[in-house]
Amino acid sequence: MPPKKKKNVNQRQMMAAETRKKIKTAAFALFAQHGFDGVTVDQIIKATETSKGAFYNHFKSKDDVVLQQFQETDHMYNEFIEQIDNDKPPFNRILLFMKMATELIEEWGVDMMRVIYSNQIKKSENGSLRVLLNEKRVNYTFLRQVLREGQQKGVFRQDLSAAFMSRILMRTLRSFIYDWCMADGGFNLTMEVQKHNRLLLDIIEHK
């Protein structure tokens, strides 16, 4: 009897995960088609043939659909970091992380990134939704850590803080994603970001 109960629990978890994915996929498709502010929760429910209970069981609001995408992103960033050999030079570790990040963005596609950026650009009363600017996230933390290590080893300049340099790298990445979206994905995001990151890292290298 216990194994059967465990099987039923696993099946419920799988069904819940499938429902959540279904809702999120439909929501992003609607956001891309009508704009974030042009879509209601009721429209998402109708498109997925679910219920309000199902929606609010997985998401607190429309904004939460986007916010949970950031949570998934940070989880993937952690997986990327685990794959990076700490014995590699700081310069190479930063480039490798950025390469993995931009490849993930290209995999998601222009439509999803347009939705995410439009959501982040809109006016927020308390700023709590501005996840792209949150310097406590995994990407910022990793970059600061590697940059500080590089400074300690004499690889990077000492006159600039690791926080400032990480901010420059992330702002550059965001500007390229913005251009990539405006160009309808008309250039290779990963290649362009890598070329400019090499230039930036060359500037912040200790001479």
Statement to judge: residues 33 and 68 lie in one domain: no
**DSSP 8-state code for residue 124:** -
Rg of the chain over CA atoms, in angstroms? 20
Last residue of a domain, one of 18, 35, 59: 59
Contact 115, 28 (CB under 8 A): yes
Summarised one tens digit per residue, pLDDT across range 156-175 is 999 999 999 999 999 999 99
39: domain range?
1-59
Query: Is there a single domain that holds both residue 89 and residue 112?
Result: yes
Q: Are residues 19 and 71 located together in one domain of the fold?
A: no
Per the structure, the count of domains in the chain is 2
40 and 68 part of one domain: no
CATH of the domain at 45: 1.10.10
Q: Are residues 137 and 45 in the same domain?
A: no
User: Are residue 76 and residue 18 in the same domain, yes or no?
Assistant: no
Shared-domain flag, residues 34 and 90: no
Could you read off the pLDDT tens digit of each residue along the chain, which spans 207 residues?
A: 455 555 566 887 888 889 999 999 999 999 999 988 899 999 999 999 999 999 999 999 988 998 899 999 999 999 999 999 999 999 999 999 999 999 999 999 999 999 999 888 876 655 556 889 999 999 999 999 999 999 999 999 999 999 999 999 999 999 999 999 999 999 999 999 999 999 999 999 987
Q: How far apart are CA 207 and CA 151, in angstroms?
A: 12
Q: What is the pLDDT of residues 170-206, one digit of tens each?
A: 999 999 999 999 999 999 999 999 999 999 999 999 8
